Amino acid sequence: MQALTDALTVPVTRVGDRVLVGFSSREYEEAFENYQAGS
């Protein structure tokens, strides 16, 4: 399971970095919380 988590971490982080370029940290945190709640 750890290997799967590690495999997902890089693309998720890259997407997060792109999102942070376009959004304020507050908007990013809200979007992340909404994503977590929807999972």
For 3-32, write each residue's pLDDT tens digit: 777 776 776 777 767 666 666 677 778 888
Count: domains in the chain: 1
Q: Give the C-alpha separation, 22 to 31, whole Å.
A: 12
Cα Rg of the chain, angstroms: 11
Q: Give the C-alpha separation, 28 to 3, whole Å.
A: 26
Q: State the pLDDT at residue 28.
A: 74
Q: State the pLDDT at residue 23.
A: 60
Token output for 10:
């890089």
Number of H helices, E strands in the chain: 2, 0
Q: State the pLDDT at residue 6.
A: 73
